[in-house]
Amino acid sequence: MKESDTGRTGSAGYLAHRVKDALGTVDGLFINAGVTRPTPLGSTTEKEYDELFDINVKRTRRRGRDARRTRASGARRRLRRMTAPALLVYTRTTDYRHDSIPAGLAALRGLGAFDVEATEDPRALEAPLGRYAAVVFLSTSGEVLTPAGRERLAGYVEEGGGFVGVHAAACTEYDWPYYRELLGARFDRHPALQPGRAVVEDHDHPATRHLPAVWEFTDEWYDFRTSPRAGARVLVSADESSYEGGGMGPDHPLAWCRDQGAGRVFYTALGHAAEAYGDPAFRAHLRGGISWAAAGAGERVSPGGGRP
In the predicted structure, residue 210 carries a pLDDT above the cut 80: yes
Looking only at the bridges linking them, the beta strands covering 86-90 and 115-119 are: parallel
In the predicted structure, residue 220 carries a pLDDT above the cut 90: yes
How confident is the model at residue 79, as a pLDDT? Answer: 47
C-alpha 3/C-alpha 192 separation (Å) is: 97
30-62: pLDDT as tens digits: 344 444 444 444 555 666 656 666 666 666 677
135-165: pLDDT as tens digits: 999 999 999 999 999 999 999 999 999 999 9
60 touches 26 (CB < 8 A): yes
Same domain assignment for residues 28 and 160: no
305 touches 234 (CB < 8 A): yes
C-alpha 29/C-alpha 49 separation (Å) is: 19
Identify whether 142 is part of a domain: yes
Same domain assignment for residues 147 and 31: no
Identify whether 210 is part of a domain: yes
- Rounded percentage of the chain residues whose pLDDT exceeds 90: 68
Same domain assignment for residues 157 and 283: yes
C-alpha 61/C-alpha 40 separation (Å) is: 23
Among 19, 51, 80, the domain-final residue is 80
Higher local confidence (pLDDT), 79 or 236: 236
- When pLDDT is averaged across residues 113-123 and rounded to a whole number, the result is 97
Split into its structural domains, the chain has a count of 2
* Least confident span in 48-62, 219-233, 242-256: 48-62
> What count of other Cβ atoms lies within 10 Å of the Cβ of residue 82?
8
Same domain assignment for residues 121 and 254: yes
Q: What is the dihedral of CA 52, 55, 56, 61, to 10 degrees?
A: 160
Same domain assignment for residues 146 and 45: no
89 touches 116 (CB < 8 A): yes
Q: How confident is the model at residue 15 (pLDDT cuts 50, 70, 90)?
A: very low
Q: Please provide the distance, in angstroms rounded to a whole number, between the alpha carbons at the two ends of the chain.
A: 100
User: Which among 180, 166, 159, 185 has a CA at the least distance from the CA of 296?
Assistant: 159
Chain-wide mean pLDDT for the chain? 83
In the predicted structure, residue 2 carries a pLDDT above the cut 80: no
Domain hosting 35: range is 3-80
Higher local confidence (pLDDT), 308 or 181: 181
Identify whether 308 is part of a domain: no
Among 32, 48, 80, the domain-final residue is 80
Among 60, 80, 100, the domain-final residue is 80
User: Which among 263, 252, 262 has a CA at the least distance from the CA of 228?
Assistant: 252
In the predicted structure, residue 72 carries a pLDDT above the cut 60: no
Same domain assignment for residues 136 and 226: yes
Same domain assignment for residues 39 and 167: no
DSSP 3-state assignment of 31? Answer: helix
DSSP 48-66: HHHHHHHHHHHHHHHHHHH
Same domain assignment for residues 104 and 63: no
CA atoms within 13 A on the CB side of 56: 21
The dihedral built from the CA positions of residue 167, 170, 171 and 176, taken in this order, carries a sign that is positive
In the predicted structure, residue 8 carries a pLDDT above the cut 60: no
Maximum average pLDDT range among 3-7, 20-24, 81-85, 243-247: 243-247
**Phi, then psi, of 298 in degrees rounded to 5:** 45, -105
269 touches 167 (CB < 8 A): yes
How confident is the model at residue 251, as a pLDDT? Answer: 98
We report the CATH number of the domain holding residue 211 as 3.40.50.880
How confident is the model at residue 62, as a pLDDT? Answer: 72
C-alpha 105/C-alpha 71 separation (Å) is: 29
DSSP 224-279: ESS-SGGGSEEEEEEEGGGSS---STT--EEEEEEEETTEEEEEE----SGGGGG-
- When pLDDT is averaged across residues 122-126 and rounded to a whole number, the result is 98
Q: Fill in the amino acid letter for 135.
A: V
Q: How far does CA 168 lie from the centroid of its chain? A: 20
- When pLDDT is averaged across residues 66-81 and rounded to a whole number, the result is 56
Same domain assignment for residues 39 and 151: no
How confident is the model at residue 52, as a pLDDT? Answer: 62
